[in-house]
Amino acid sequence: MKTVRRLYLYGIAFVSLEAIIWGIIGLLRNLISQTLTAPEAILRALSLLLVGAPVFLFHWLWGKRLATEDAEEAGAMLRAVFFYGVLLANGIPVFQNLLAILNRWLLSLFGLPTSRALFGGAQSLSDNLIAILIAGLFWGYFWQQLTQAWQKLTESENFADARRLYRFIWMLYGLLLLIAGVIQILRVIFYWPVPFPGDPRPTALNGLGFVLIGGPLWYFAWRKCQENAQEAAERTSLLRLGVYTLLSLGSALVILVDGIILSDILLQWMLGLTPLEASRFGDALAWLISFGMVRAYYARWFKAQLEFFPADRAQEIRRFVHGLLSLAGLIAVSTGMGILLNLLADLLAATLFSEGARRSLGHSLSALLLGLPYWLVNWNALRLPETQPQASPRSLARRAYLYLILFGSVLAVMGYGAALVYQTLRGWLLQENDLRGILSSLFLLAFFGVLLLYHLKETRRETARERARFADFRILLLMEDAESRAALESALKQSLPGAQIIHLERSAAPIEGEVLIYPAGSEALPEWARDFPGTHLLIPWTGAKNRLWVGMLNRRWPEQAARMARQLALGEELRQPFQSPTIWTILGYLFAIFFALQLLGILLGVALSLIAD
C-alpha cells in the first residue's frame, strides 16, 4: 500500500513541478522577449503555473510530513528517485542552454549566422538565460532539501543507489556530448585533402561547443562516479558493472558496423567502382576513432570491475559479452557469405562480371573482413576449451547463444530448402527453369546446413562434457517419503546430469559420498550419518505440512537443494539459490531491455545513413 501511495505522491509531485518550472520559463520568455509572441503562449504558460502550483505544494508538503513522521518513508527508494530525478530534470536543461549560448557565440565570433547552431539556433540569449536561471534556482532548492534528507536518514542504502544512478546518468550525458563533438570535428578533419562541401566552420564550431561543454561535464561526473569505487557496495554494484558493460559492448558493436562501412568504401574505391567519397569516408572514420577510444578506455574498467565478483559470475558475464559479439560477427559473416554465394550463382548462370557484381563483391568482402575475426575471437572465448576440463561446462550465455544459432539456422535451412524444392519442381513440371534461383538456394542451403551441423555438434559436445563433469560426484539421499524423494531426484538430475544419486535406508551400511541430504529435524539418524565426512545438506522436514521454513519456499525446496548441490560440486561460492524478484527488479529489466532496443535502433539508423548512396 505504501509503495502505491509513493508512486502516486511523487509521480504527481514531479509532473506538477515540471509544469511550474516550464510555465515560469515560458511566461518570462514571452514577457521579456522583444519579439513578443501571440497572447495564447502567455496564457498557456500562466495556466501551467496556476494549476501546477497548488497541486505540487499539496503533494510536496504531504510527502515531507510523511518523511518526518516515518523513518521508513524518509529513506524510501521512490523518495530518493524523486529527488535525484528532479535534479536531473533541471540540471540537464541548464547545460543544454549553456551549449546553445556557446554554439551561437562561437558562430558569431567567426561571422557566421547563429541559425547554424545545432542547439538553440532559433533562440535568443534571454531565452537561454531565463531557462538557466529558473531551472538553476529549483535545482539549488532541491539540492538543499536533498542534503537535509541525507542528514536525517537512518538507513541510506536506497539513497545511495539512487545517487549512484544519478551520477552515472550525468557521466553518460557528458560522454554523449563529448563523443558527438569529437565526431563533428573529425568529420571536418578527415575531409582533407578533398574540399569540405560548403563551409566547414559551422560543423567544426558546433563540435567544439559540444566538446567544451561535454568534456568537463564528463570528467567531473566520472570523478564523482569513482569517488566511492573502493567501497564494498560499489565493488559489487550491478549498476556500475552494467554501465561498463554497456559502454564496452556497445562501442565494440559500433566499431564492427562502422568498420564494415569503412572497408566497403575502400573496397569500392579499390575496385574502381566509385571515387573515394570524402563525406562517407570522413563520417565512418570519425565514428570509428571516437568509439574506438571509448572501447579502449571502458574495456579496462569493465575487466577491473569483474575482479570484485565471484569467479563463476564474472566468467558468465564475460561469456555473455563474448556471446553477443560473436553473434554480431556471425551475422556479418552470414550476410557476407549470402552476398558472395548469390554473386557466385549469378556468375555461373550468366557468366558476366558486371559493375553490379563488383559492387556486391565489395559488400561481401567488407562484411567478411570484419565479421570473421569478430566471430572467431569471441566464439573461441565463449566455447569451452578442451584444455580446461575442470571448468564449469554449463553456461546460460553459451547455451542461449548455441540454441539461438540453431534456431536461426534451422529456419534458414527450411526456407532455402523449400525454395530449392519449389524451383526444381517448377522447372520439372512447368518447364520454367531458373538456374540462378536454383544455384542460389542450393549454395545458401549448403552454407546454413554446415552452420547448423557445426553448432549442433558443439551443443552435443557441451552436453557430453557436462555429464562427464559430474560422473564421479556422489549424492546420498536419506529420505523415507517417496514423493519428496522423487521430486528431489528429478531436480538433482536436471541440475547435475550424470551425477550418482543413491538412496539409502536408515539401516544401510556406511557409503562414501560428497553430499548427504536428509530432512531437518529427522530423529534417530544412524551413527554413520552423524559422522558423515562430506557436506550435510538439510531440507525441510516433509513430514510436517503445517510448518513454514523461513527464507525458503516449500514449493521450490527441491530446486533449491539441487542448486546448492551443484554449487558444491563445482566448488563455487554458496549463494541464495532463489530470490523472488521485486517489482523494481522487473521494472529495471524492462527499462534495460527498452533502452537496449532504442540504442540498437539508433545505431542501425546511423549505420544505414552512412551507407546510403
- The 10s digit of each residue's pLDDT in 311-359 is 778 888 888 999 999 999 999 999 999 888 888 887 777 655 566 677 7
pLDDT band of residue 363 (cuts 50, 70, 90) is confident
* Residue 474 predicted with pLDDT over 70: yes
CB-hemisphere CA count at 13 Å for 544?
11
pLDDT at 553: 45
The residue with greater pLDDT, 148 or 1, is 148
Which range among 104-108, 522-526, 601-605 shows the weakest confidence by mean pLDDT?
Answer: 601-605
- Partnered with residue 474 across adjacent β-strands are 500
Average confidence (pLDDT) over 557-572: 74
pLDDT at 237: 84
Contact 249, 321 (CB under 8 A): yes
Neighbour order of strands in the sheet with 515-519: 500-503, 474-477, 515-519, 535-539
Mean pLDDT of the chain: 80
Query: Residues 576, 579, 582, CA angle at the centre, nearest 5°?
Result: 150
* Residue 390 predicted with pLDDT over 70: no
Q: Cell 556479418 belongs to which residue?
A: 332
Which grid cell is 363? Answer: 559488400
Collapse the DSSP code of 401 into the 3-class scheme (helix H, G, I; strand E, B; otherwise coil) and give the result: helix
In 271-306, where does DSSP find H-type helix?
A: 278-306
pLDDT tens-place string over residues 163-195: 988 999 999 999 999 999 999 898 888 765 555
Determine the residue type at 331. I
Q: What is the spatial distance between Cα 117 and Cα 99, in angstroms, rounded to a whole number? A: 10
* Residue 98 predicted with pLDDT over 90: yes
Average confidence (pLDDT) over 368-379: 91
CB-hemisphere CA count at 13 Å for 486?
3
User: What percentage of residues in the chain have a pLDDT greater than 90?
Assistant: 26
Average confidence (pLDDT) over 224-241: 82
pLDDT at 125: 87
Q: Cell 532504442 belongs to which residue?
A: 598
pLDDT at 542: 57
Average confidence (pLDDT) over 67-94: 89
The residue with greater pLDDT, 1 or 56, is 56
Average confidence (pLDDT) over 110-131: 85
Q: What is the spatial distance between Cα 443 and Cα 342, in angstroms, rounded to a whole number? A: 8
